[in-house]
Structure 1
């Protein structure tokens, strides 16, 4: 999700989701946009009823229901989910729609010991349960999706500067490069800063320049934590050049999951949109790591698509794509980054 401000995560209220109505209302906040023609699985941890993984996929053709169900169940198992809410968003006809997909998902998750807490569908702003037919709680006409069910979550999102986009396409557009006029000015500044950077590098040495890059990044993140002021063109160029050093980039990973997480994400988003290609790829990949560690695979993939569109050979982005494809859980990624000294 794009970030407008960067308040400290530790001050945000803890949010608990207890009912199907709350799960349905919370999904746009969990994936960053309002899904359509989608399947969303909200996995809950086996040891504590917290959201451990949120997966959104386009609704598959009928003949792909079983392969998708197996893949999704595998991802949930890798995330050590003990339970899952399944929610289908569709305007397709049928009462209920896509029962084949729900049955395949129930069978696949059941084989792996994952309990389906409920299976729901949302159509025209109203939700219904595949399982419950009691009119007092699940009326035949459905129940309106009520954002008030998650007013605390909405308040927390506003507190942290999170934006819920209208669609996946809107979320993708939030990471699109700036327009051509701004692009030309940024590229001109970048070339000037790059020439100066490269001319100074041999004399000063990589260690000194790297330390300066880390200090500049820290200053930018701390400034964003206090203010939504944007970076100057020269700052965009210098920070992007700094992140081209793998050691500097890896040091920036330590902000994921900390008080400065949202401030760092705001800086990454700005660099993704403004840095000259392919120097925007490291920032896009850092953004993907933040989303991945939160269990938001949808946003992680969008950020990785953006990174690889800029630099198709960017190895860290390719590694993260492989991890997502294999269903590597967020905590396993965090452990791997920690072992390699890349994250706290």
Structure 2
């Protein structure tokens, strides 16, 4: 999802960074990849944003590495400009032109030179100690341009994103905590997984005897959809239901059908369920839930959460095929609309089993424009 940002006031752009990233960055350099949305160039869409540690800090990218990354992403996203925002509580505004932080000047010079070589531009560079209401901001190279930030939580981009169901976390650590294993719940759930697996095997044996290989898949898919549609985020989760769903996801037919759920009426409840399972399941079952959580986030453009969830999935199962494919797509800036085909295939596969997993809604992520249909 990309929203137009009006550049008449740089403060609006800077305040949009937490929404575009999905969390409020600290001690970071943020790259915003931009495409013009008005003939005058005063409004742009931001299809993708990325952050790295502040230049010169531990684990920060070299100037050349950052520049090559920006060049590659511009090509993949067809972006015409890169906008840069430095966020670091240690910064001080330059007193005069030419007195910018040496590390900032170095990275910007290298970035501008590399972008120019591929007919892209460095569209603007700003800095702030923090992204918060009334925090001071300034042009990283021109001290005459400065001001105070509006509230990032009420920026037009933030309101558009939260209205679409995205969550803006207070920092990257809070984002990571959303998929951190809950060891207490995992220890309570683990014994129930064996019992659920035994029950699933017995059901499969019974349906195999009647010569209907799809009967067990159909019944299991129905039960998973029922669990999703009746899921409530309030109160303590039913561990037996969690165990049954987790075991069901071991069946690739069931797991693949769940990608279609992300496009329909049960999407929000399903994502809540995948989130809890990501925190509650042991390896390698955790990988299935984390991959589904990542898919939901990626589909609506919440790339930071998708990335964190995919890291969890691949940590749980490094060979997980779908997690690896989504990770490659995310790291290369693949547009979320490319996931629509997988949603449709999943819905059709479930329909062949005579199970309605929730048809796409008029404003769902699978409603296509003519441009997407032509792909």
Which TM bucket (shorter chain)?
Answer: 0.7 to 0.9
The aligned counterpart of 2:23 is 33
Cα distance in structure 2, aligned partners of 1:116 and 1:307: 35
Q: How much has 1:233 moved relative to structure 2?
A: 0.7
Q: How much has 1:199 moved relative to structure 2?
A: 2.4
Q: State whether structure 2 residue 240 is matched by structure 1 residue 234.
A: yes
Name the larger-Rg structure: 2
After superposition, the C-alpha distances for 1:278-336 in whole angstroms (9 at most, x for unaligned) are: 112112112222333444443222111111222222222222333344x1422474267
Contact 2:70–2:82, Cα closer than 8 Å, also in 1: no
Contact 2:19–2:157, Cα closer than 8 Å, also in 1: no
The aligned counterpart of 1:51 is 46
Q: How much has 1:72 moved relative to structure 2?
A: 2.4
Structure 2, unpaired ranges of 5+: 39-43, 95-99, 348-365, 367-375
Cα distance in structure 2, aligned partners of 1:277 and 1:63: 32
Contact 1:73–1:112, Cα closer than 8 Å, also in 2: yes
The aligned counterpart of 2:354 is none
Alignment equivalent of 2:327, drawn from 306, 321, 342: 321
Cα distance in structure 1, aligned partners of 2:117 and 2:264: 36
Structure 1, unpaired ranges of 5+: 1-8
Structure 1 runs of 4+ aligned residues shifted over 6 Å read: none
The 3-state SS of whatever aligns with 1:43 is strand
TM-score, normalization by structure 1: 0.79
Aligned alpha-carbon RMSD (Å): 3.3
TM-score, normalization by structure 2: 0.73
CA separation of 1:237 and 1:199: change in aligned 2, threshold 3 A: same
The aligned counterpart of 1:262 is 268
CA separation of 1:147 and 1:47: change in aligned 2, threshold 3 A: closer
Cα distance in structure 1, aligned partners of 2:119 and 2:91: 31
CA separation of 1:338 and 1:235: change in aligned 2, threshold 3 A: closer
The aligned counterpart of 1:197 is 200
Contact 2:261–2:267, Cα closer than 8 Å, also in 1: yes
Q: How much has 1:93 moved relative to structure 2?
A: 4.2
Cα distance in structure 1, aligned partners of 2:301 and 2:72: 15
Count of residues paired in the alignment: 322
The 3-state SS of whatever aligns with 1:41 is strand
The 3-state SS of whatever aligns with 2:247 is helix
Structure 2 counterparts to residues 120-135 of structure 1, below 5 A: 120-124=126-130, 125-130=135-140, 132-134=142-144
The aligned counterpart of 1:108 is 114
Cα distance in structure 2, aligned partners of 1:72 and 1:152: 23
The 3-state SS of whatever aligns with 1:280 is helix
Cα distance in structure 2, aligned partners of 1:296 and 1:214: 27
Contact 2:20–2:48, Cα closer than 8 Å, also in 1: no
CA separation of 1:170 and 1:47: change in aligned 2, threshold 3 A: same
Alignment equivalent of 1:172, drawn from 165, 176, 180: 176
